């Protein structure tokens, strides 16, 4: 029995609109671009339609930062990436549902360790059956998982399937992932995952809570998606997120102060005594969950840090599947990601579970903190103090700007633009 267009429900119309947006007609292209889809994000755009809209004409963008790739595959790499992201979002939805059910009689598990094991199995299953991966590295596995034969694809995926505090509330938990392109031909090798963060072609993290949030980038900016429970789809809600140039919040475990070296203790004391560049007194905000603390820092500015200490002389954050993907996201949002001396994206792991100290966040605040690990400390330089004092005074005398305005000198950053 046929159905007329007048009888279609609003949901069916919406679904057809989204499906039509995934295809680009040749006659609509101008210099390889589709102006209809470049003007503004579509209301209700999903991760898949976003990728197709923004990157169908920029396939080479996916390998801009990759040094070398021998992989030869007849399949469209963008389509493979779309399939891979669909599998990742499926894993996030399933694990998020498990986390929200903790404490209920019908929960998969109320034991945090068992839940972490279930989350890891869920991620591996989803990635395996995407048929787009050649190597998987998980925080919960000592060795990487090599995928060969008909299940093998061209991407190496590194991930932490369930990070954060071991107990509810669920907003303190999340997942982190990064995607590399396979560098070798044939069966996967360790070289396919032992790559610096600058060679990531995509990365993201999920944050579970009242709303499940997905922050994602393929190197063209930082974008935020929110899970719509009525559609069970991640919908684009914030495009081109910018990390503020400065902020007055800092995030660090000060309970470990006795374990920090002299430089770190001096830096923490300076944070308490020195105002931020906007003239505000700094405030400590620390949840203890990497994803939750980093998410707040990206949204409101400031700095998140986990310095080395006596118990963790090399740092505590895992480089390959935690520090590098988050550094990729922060850098794409205009922020800074350093170990104290070196850019995190430049570091080449020596093993899949290497650890590093990390400083993520606003450019000004991150540079201020890491300056204490250099030969000359910023507070010992009279010119630095003078310039900073002048900047704070200038900042304080500026007129109150509208939420969507940006100062020309780049000191003030726009609030998140709402799509739709």
Domain locations along the chain = 15-241, 249-396
Per-residue confidence band for 65, with pLDDT thresholds at 50, 70 and 90: very low
Nearest to 324, CA basis, from 136, 194, 141, 140: 194
The predicted pLDDT at position 339 comes to 96
Among the listed residues 116, 213, 110, 130, the one whose alpha carbon sits nearest the alpha carbon of residue 179: 130
Considering only the top CATH level, what class is 15-241? alpha beta
The reported pLDDT for the residue numbered 104 is 77
Q: What integer pLDDT is reported at residue 166 of this predicted model?
A: 59
pLDDT of residue 170: 59
CB 417 within 8 Å of CB 240: yes
For the segment 392-398, the average pLDDT, to the nearest whole number, is 63
pLDDT band of 40, cuts 50, 70, 90: low
Give the helix, strand, coil percentages of the chain, each rounded to 5: 40, 20, 40
Segment (H or E) for 145: strand 145-146
Statement: residue 29 has pLDDT above 50: no
pLDDT at residue 34 in the model: 41
**Could you write out the DSSP letters of every residue in 9-72?**
-HHHHHHHHHHHHT---GGG-BTTB-HHHHSSPPTT-BHHHHHHHHHTT-GGGGGTT-S-----
Q: Give the DSSP H/E element, type plus range, for residue 81.
A: helix 77-100
Report the chain's mean pLDDT, rounded to a whole number.
80
Which pLDDT does position 21 carry in this prediction?
Answer: 37
Residue 381 pLDDT exceeds 80: no
| pLDDT score for 75 | 44
The first and second tokens of residue 270, run together, are 């300076």
- Residue count (the chain): 420
Enter the tokens of residue 410: 């780049």
d(CA 190, CA 184): 10
Distance from first CA to last CA of the chain, Å, rounded?
36
Q: Options 3.40.190.80, 3.40.1480.10, 3.30.70.2190, 3.10.450.50; which CATH number does 249-396 get?
A: 3.40.190.80
Q: What average pLDDT does range 8-21 have in this prediction?
A: 40
**pLDDT at res. 408:** 43
Q: What is the pTM of this model?
A: 0.80
User: Is the pLDDT at 220 greater than 70, yes or no?
Assistant: yes
Report residue 123's pLDDT band, with 50, 70 and 90 as the boundaries.
Answer: very high
Q: Are 101 and 108 in contact (CB under 8 A)?
A: yes
Q: Establish how many alpha carbons lie within 13 A of residue 388's alpha carbon, considering only the half-sphere containing its beta carbon.
A: 18
Give the mean model confidence (pLDDT) for residues 296-311.
96
Q: Does residue 5 register a pLDDT over 60?
A: no
Please give the pLDDT value at position 308. Answer: 95
Q: Which of 227-236, 281-290, 322-331 has the highest mean pLDDT?
A: 322-331
169: pLDDT strictly greater than 90? no
Q: Which of 37-41, 159-163, 288-292, 414-418 has the lowest average pLDDT?
A: 414-418
Residue bearing the bigger pLDDT, 1 or 389: 389
Lowest mean pLDDT among 23-32, 120-129, 305-314: 23-32
Q: 233-247, 256-270, 366-380: which has the minimum mean pLDDT? A: 366-380
Local structure of 332: helix, strand or coil: helix
């Amino acid at each position: 029995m046929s159905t007329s267009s007048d009888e279609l429900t609003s949901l069916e119309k919406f679904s057809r609109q989204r499906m039509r947006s995934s295809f680009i007609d040749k006659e609509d292209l101008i210099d390889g671009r589709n102006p209809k889809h470049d003007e503004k994000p579509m209301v209700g755009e999903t991760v898949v339609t976003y990728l197709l809209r923004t990157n169908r004409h920029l396939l080479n963008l996916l390998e801009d930062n990759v040094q070398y790739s021998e992989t030869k595959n007849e399949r469209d790499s963008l389509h493979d990436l779309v399939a891979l992201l669909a599998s990742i979002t499926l894993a996030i939805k399933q694990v998020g549902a498990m986390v929200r059910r903790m404490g209920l009689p019908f929960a998969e598990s109320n034991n945090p360790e068992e839940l972490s094991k279930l989350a890891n199995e869920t991620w591996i299953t989803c990635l395996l059956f995407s048929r787009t991966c050649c190597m998987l590295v998980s925080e919960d596995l000592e060795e990487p998982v090599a995928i060969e034969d008909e299940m093998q694809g061209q991407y190496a995926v590194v991930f932490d399937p369930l990070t954060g505090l071991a107990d509810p509330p669920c907003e303190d938990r999340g997942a982190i992932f990064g995607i590399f392109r396979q560098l070798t031909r044939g069966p996967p090798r360790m070289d396919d995952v032992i790559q610096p963060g600058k060679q990531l072609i995509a990365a993201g993290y999920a944050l579970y809570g009242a709303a499940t949030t997905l922050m994602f980038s393929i190197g063209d900016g930082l974008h935020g998606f929110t899970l719509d429970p009525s559609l069970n789809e991640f919908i684009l809600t914030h495009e081109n997120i910018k990390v503020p140039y400065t902020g007055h919040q800092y995030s660090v475990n000060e309970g470990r102060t006795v374990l920090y070296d002299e430089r770190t203790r001096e830096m923490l004391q300076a944070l308490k005594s020195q105002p931020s560049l906007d003239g505000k007194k700094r405030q400590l905000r620390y949840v203890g969950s990497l994803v939750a603390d980093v998410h707040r820092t990206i949204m409101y500015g400031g700095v998140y840090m986990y310095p080395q200490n006596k118990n963790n002389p090399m740092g505590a954050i895992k480089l390959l599947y935690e520090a590098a993907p988050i550094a990729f996201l922060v850098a794409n949002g205009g922020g800074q990601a350093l170990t104290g001396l070196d850019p995190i994206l430049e570091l080449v792991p020596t093993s899949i579970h290497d650890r590093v100290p990390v400083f993520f966040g606003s450019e000004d605040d991150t540079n201020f903190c890491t300056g204490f690990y250099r030969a000359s400390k910023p507070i010992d330089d009279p010119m630095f103090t003078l310039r900073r004092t002048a900047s704070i005074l200038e900042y304080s005398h500026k007129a109150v700007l509208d939420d969507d305005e940006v100062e020309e000198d780049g000191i003030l950053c726009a609030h998140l633009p709402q799509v739709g």
